[in-house]
Amino acid sequence: MDIYESYLKRKRLSQASIKAYKHTIQHFIEWLESEYLNLKICRSADIMAYLQLLKQNGNQNKTMAHKLRAISLLFESMDIHPNPAAVLQIKGINRGVPTHLLSQKELDALYENHPNESIFEKRDKVIIGLIIYQGISKGSLMKLSIEDVQSTFISVPSSKRSNPRRLPIEEVQKELLEKYTAQIRCQIMQQPSDLFIVSQRSNKPRGIIEQAMRRLKVQHPKVQTISQLRGSRIAIWLKTHNLRQVQQMAGHRYVSSTERYQMQYLEDLQKDLVKYHPRK
């Protein structure tokens, strides 16, 4: 339990949350023992049985979601993979994992076909590129400074939900990024600013990012949200990098956040296997 508490402290949970999570885990472990189980052999089905017991005892969905979160963090602290709790969710509780993820080919097409005539179109293309190739969230984009973007890499600032990280710039982005940094940004900017994304009217990049996404959705109906594009990049990373590497690249504070995208990828892979190798 000391390891679990230390892990929660590293995740910056409040003392009240730590106390509640430890109480949940104590009850969960006692239940496992009553079922002649332990954490090392615990499966998703076992956790589902425990959650069903909580429901029968009158726990509401929101309460069970918090308890499931506590259990998931326990397996994270023990470095058990796959995490049997990460693939579960409480009905009615939105876990925020985007659907309708796009392929690498589709993401490349979005960038390649983006309008690139005016200085504002070039700026918007830079924004879209950072979303689809580096998987940067709106929160991090809004905080991005001119010093964060170098010729070969970008230092992504943290946001409310993500950790800072350093990511390489893709070859297809380099020419336009360099031109935006050296020329276009100065042509657009009318007031001094350290922010990377600038406009003529204000130093608030939120509206610029939202307008760029609105235009993109008009051009490409399959595009829905920034989260969808970011999620697409994370799912693609998982095809060539291990779970911990992608957690760092995505800035996820919890590895379970990354595992959800892994499950999405595995489900897609299973569909492909059925499609191309049907059982006889």
CA distances from 197 to 38, 73, 168, 274 (A): 51, 36, 19, 45
CA 187/CA 123 separation, integer angstroms: 11
CA 171/CA 130 separation, integer angstroms: 12
Q: Would you call the peptide bond into 98 cis, given omega within 30 degrees of 0 as the criterion? A: no
Residues with Cβ < 8 Å from 259, sequence gap 6 or more? 81, 82, 83, 86, 87, 243
pLDDT of residue 162: 85
What is the per-residue DSSP string for 163-222?
Answer: --EEEEPPHHHHHHHHHIIIIIHHHH--S---BSS--SS-S-HHHHHHHHHHHHHHH-TT
CB burial of 136-155 (b: ≥16 within 10 Å; e: otherwise) equals bbbebbbbbeeebbeeeebe
How does pLDDT run across 186-208, given as a tens digit for each residue?
A: 999 888 889 999 987 766 788 99
3-state class (DSSP) for residue 75: helix
Contact 28, 38 (CB under 8 A): no
pLDDT of residue 121: 95
Helix axes 119-134, 171-179, angle to 10 degrees: 140
pLDDT of residue 271: 46
- Averaged over successive runs of 10 residues, the pLDDT of the chain (280 residues) comes to 88 88 95 93 92 89 89 92 83 59 94 95 96 94 93 89 91 96 92 89 83 93 92 92 92 82 54 44
pLDDT of residue 203: 66
CA 109 to mean position of chain CA atoms: 22
pLDDT of residue 279: 45
**Mean pLDDT score across all residues of the chain:** 87
How does pLDDT run across 123-137, given as a tens digit for each residue?
A: 999 999 999 999 999
Beta bridge partners of 156: 165
Taking the model in full, what pTM does it have? Answer: 0.66
Contact 4, 71 (CB under 8 A): no
CA 24/CA 65 separation, integer angstroms: 12
Provide the sign of the torsion angle of the four alpha carbons 30, 36, 37, 43, taken in this order: negative
pLDDT of residue 158: 85
pLDDT of residue 10: 87
pLDDT of residue 112: 95
CA 218/CA 236 separation, integer angstroms: 24
3-state DSSP: the chain helix, strand, coil percent, rounded to 5?
60, 5, 35
pLDDT of residue 82: 86
pLDDT of residue 277: 44
Domains and CATH numbers, the chain: 2-77 (1.10.150.130), 104-232 (1.10.443.10)
Angle at CA 62, nearest 5°, toward 57 and 68? 80
Contact 56, 232 (CB under 8 A): no
